[in-house]
């Protein structure tokens, strides 16, 4: 009996290991040469646990700047022979403009044959845990129920945050006293850093932190990377393990924060972000959080480009917010605090890289 159980456990572990080591690669066909198609190509080929062999079908056979290069391009109207040759497990549609260009009959036949057909935006969302904001449209957002949160769900989320924050403040009160003394002894200045932030529905509030920097003599940048020289000895340690964020439990009690939500941005950056980041105002439909999906996936932002990348994660959280997702974020936050890292999953910069594929000649054959 013991031997049989051990054999079954080892078999499951071996199969799981082989799957994660790409023993059974999935074949993915991407239709399109749009920026989204390029991002999907990068994401598929960057997956660590499952090797996806990718080919691209574009709507212009002369497009030499396709996601996979000129040899793997063909008109979308020639989709049928490519499907027959490649036999994909999944087809991802990532066309910029589908009017009159989407080969519906071929896609329907592929679906009947058991091939999964997926929209590019949804595929990108599933792969990355973030939303392709470039593919969103105002009309689509207005009609989408995903970004309209009920008062009941928001109230339940905040009630849970209040209970946890109140309990944590009582338990951690001795630690607060010790940290306050250490901050005062380590450098000149107040115990707390108080900063104007933007919260629910664009309202301003005072965010509390343990001070980790020496007071500035003049105007300063809001980017964390520009203020490294001002971080105190104790502050460096407090920031590494996120202990400086603990006073924000008071913000939760005051109703300005939840435990989980998009991180509140400084008031001084609000106008810039509203002008430069698409759909930025959607962050204000939920109460900001002490920790968030973007925070655990990417960490601090030091440029407008990185803030835009974090916006993709914030929109994903708002669209999919649930008790289960909040629990995942809290568990990741604990891992970050214990490890002292900036984030669990550092996000690579999107770039198009050569794909591993067995279809080096398919595009050429179809284009004859």
What CATH number is attached to the domain comprising 58? 3.40.50.20
Q: Examine residue 87 and state whether it is found in any structural domain, yes or no.
A: yes
Q: How far apart are CA 198 and CA 256, in angstroms?
A: 10
Share of the chain above pLDDT 70, in %: 72
Helices (H), the chain: 2-20, 35-46, 79-86, 104-112, 120-128, 138-143, 151-186, 233-240, 248-253, 267-276, 293-298, 304-320, 323-339, 362-367
Coil vs helix vs strand at 82? helix
Q: Clarify whether residues 161 and 214 are in a common domain.
A: yes
Q: Clarify whether residues 257 and 111 are in a common domain.
A: no
Over residues 20-46, the mean pLDDT reads: 74
Q: Which domain holds residue 265?
A: 147-321
Q: Clarify whether residues 186 and 307 are in a common domain.
A: yes
Q: Examine residue 212 and state whether it is found in any structural domain, yes or no.
A: yes
Q: Clarify whether residues 305 and 357 are in a common domain.
A: no
Handedness of CA 237, 253, 320, 275 (dihedral sign): negative
Residue 200 has pLDDT above 90, yes or no: yes
Q: Clarify whether residues 106 and 219 are in a common domain.
A: no
Q: How far apart are CA 58 and CA 52, in angstroms?
A: 19
Contact between 193 and 211 under an 8 Å Cβ cutoff? The reply is yes
Q: Clarify whether residues 316 and 189 are in a common domain.
A: yes
Q: Clarify whether residues 7 and 50 are in a common domain.
A: yes
Over residues 172-198, the mean pLDDT reads: 93
Over residues 96-119, the mean pLDDT reads: 82
Over residues 340-352, the mean pLDDT reads: 51
Q: Clarify whether residues 88 and 124 are in a common domain.
A: yes
pLDDT bin (cut points 50, 70, 90) of residue 362 is very low
Q: What pTM, to 2 d.p., does this model score?
A: 0.77
Range scoring the smallest mean pLDDT among 71-75, 259-263, 356-360: 356-360
pLDDT bin (cut points 50, 70, 90) of residue 17 is low
Q: Examine residue 17 and state whether it is found in any structural domain, yes or no.
A: yes
Q: Clarify whether residues 161 and 122 are in a common domain.
A: no
β-strands 192-198, 204-210 pairing: antiparallel
Q: How far apart are CA 214 and CA 188, in angstroms?
A: 7
Range scoring the smallest mean pLDDT among 37-46, 81-90, 193-202: 37-46
Q: How far apart are CA 221 and CA 341, in angstroms?
A: 23
Over residues 37-46, the mean pLDDT reads: 80
Q: Is 203 exposed, middle or buried (0-12, 13-18, 19+ CB in 10 A)?
A: exposed
Q: Clarify whether residues 124 and 168 are in a common domain.
A: no
Contact partners, residue 61, CB within 8 Å, separation at least 6? 73, 74, 75, 367
Count of structural domains, the chain: 2
Over residues 260-266, the mean pLDDT reads: 94
Structure tokens at 292: 């968030």
Structure tokens at 154: 């928001």
Report which DSSP code applies to 253.
H
Give whichever of 3-7, 26-30, 294-298, 336-340 has the largest mean pLDDT: 294-298
Residue 289 has pLDDT above 90, yes or no: yes
Range scoring the smallest mean pLDDT among 14-28, 111-125, 231-245, 291-305: 14-28
Q: How far apart are CA 226 and CA 129, in angstroms?
A: 28
Q: Clarify whether residues 114 and 156 are in a common domain.
A: no
pLDDT bin (cut points 50, 70, 90) of residue 258 is very high
Q: Examine residue 29 and state whether it is found in any structural domain, yes or no.
A: yes
Contact partners, residue 102, CB within 8 Å, separation at least 6? 76, 93, 95
Q: Examine residue 50 and state whether it is found in any structural domain, yes or no.
A: yes
Over residues 128-143, the mean pLDDT reads: 79
Q: Examine residue 81 and state whether it is found in any structural domain, yes or no.
A: yes
pLDDT bin (cut points 50, 70, 90) of residue 144 is confident
Residue 8 has pLDDT above 90, yes or no: no
Over residues 254-266, the mean pLDDT reads: 95
- Residue 337 vs residue 77, higher pLDDT: 337
Q: How far apart are CA 44 and CA 67, in angstroms?
A: 12
For residue 9, what pLDDT is reported?
55
Query: Given the structure tokens 């810039």, which residue do they identify?
Result: 272
Q: Examine residue 335 and state whether it is found in any structural domain, yes or no.
A: no
Q: What angle do CA 35, 39, 40 make, to 5 degrees?
A: 115
Q: Is 148 exposed, middle or buried (0-12, 13-18, 19+ CB in 10 A)?
A: exposed
Q: Clarify whether residues 154 and 284 are in a common domain.
A: yes
Q: Examine residue 139 and state whether it is found in any structural domain, yes or no.
A: no
Can you list the pairs that 264-269 forms with residues at least 24 positions away whose Cβ atoms lie under 8 Å? Answer: 264/197, 264/198, 264/199, 264/205, 264/207, 264/288, 265/197, 265/198, 266/195, 266/196, 266/197, 266/198, 266/222, 267/196, 267/197, 267/198, 267/204, 268/196, 268/222, 269/222
Mean pLDDT, the chain, as a whole number? 79
- Residue 251 vs residue 78, higher pLDDT: 251
Task: Give DSSP secondary structure letters for 280-310.
Answer: GGGGGGS--EEE-HHHHHH----SHHHHHHH
Contact between 315 and 279 under an 8 Å Cβ cutoff? The reply is yes
């Amino acid at each position: 009996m013991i031997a049989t159980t051990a054999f079954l456990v080892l078999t499951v572990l071996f199969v799981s290991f082989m799957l994660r080591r790409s023993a059974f690669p999935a074949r993915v066909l991407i239709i399109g040469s749009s920026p989204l198609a390029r991002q999907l190509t990068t994401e598929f080929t960057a997956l660590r646990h499952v090797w996806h062999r990718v080919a691209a079908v574009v709507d212009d056979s002369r497009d030499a700047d396709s996601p996979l290069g000129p040899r793997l391009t063909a008109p979308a109207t020639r989709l049928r022979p490519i499907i027959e040759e490649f036999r994909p497990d999944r087809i991802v549609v990532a066309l910029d403009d589908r009017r009159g260009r989407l080969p519906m009959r071929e896609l329907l036949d592929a679906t009947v044959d058991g091939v999964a057909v997926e929209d590019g935006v949804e595929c990108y969302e599933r792969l990355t845990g973030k939303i392709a904001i470039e593919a969103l449209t105002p009309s689509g957002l207005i009609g989408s129920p995903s970004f309209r949160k009920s008062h009941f769900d928001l109230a339940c989320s905040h009630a849970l945050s209040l209970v946890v924050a109140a309990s944590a403040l009582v338990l951690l009160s001795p630690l607060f006293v010790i940290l306050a003394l250490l901050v005062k002894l380590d450098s000149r200045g107040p115990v707390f850093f108080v900063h104007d932030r933007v919260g629910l529905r664009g309202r301003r509030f005072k965010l509390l932190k343990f001070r980790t920097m020496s007071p500035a003599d003049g105007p300063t940048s809001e980017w964390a990377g520009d203020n490294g020289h001002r971080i105190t000895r104790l502050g460096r340690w407090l920031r590494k393990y996120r202990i400086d964020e603990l006073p924000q439990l008071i913000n939760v009690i005051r109703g300005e924060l939840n435990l989980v939500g998009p991180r509140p941005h400084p008031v001084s950056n609000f106008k810039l972000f509203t002008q430069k980041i698409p759909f930025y105002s959607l962050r204000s439909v939920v109460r900001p959080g002490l920790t968030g999906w973007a925070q655990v996936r990417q960490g601090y932002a030091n440029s407008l480009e990185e803030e835009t990348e974090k916006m993709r994660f914030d929109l994903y959280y708002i669209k999919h917010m649930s008790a289960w997702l909040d629990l995942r974020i809290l568990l990741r936050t604990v891992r970050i605090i214990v490890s002292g890292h900036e984030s669990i999953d550092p996000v690579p910069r999107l770039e198009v890289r050569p794909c591993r594929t067995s279809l080096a000649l398919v595009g050429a054959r179809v284009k004859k």
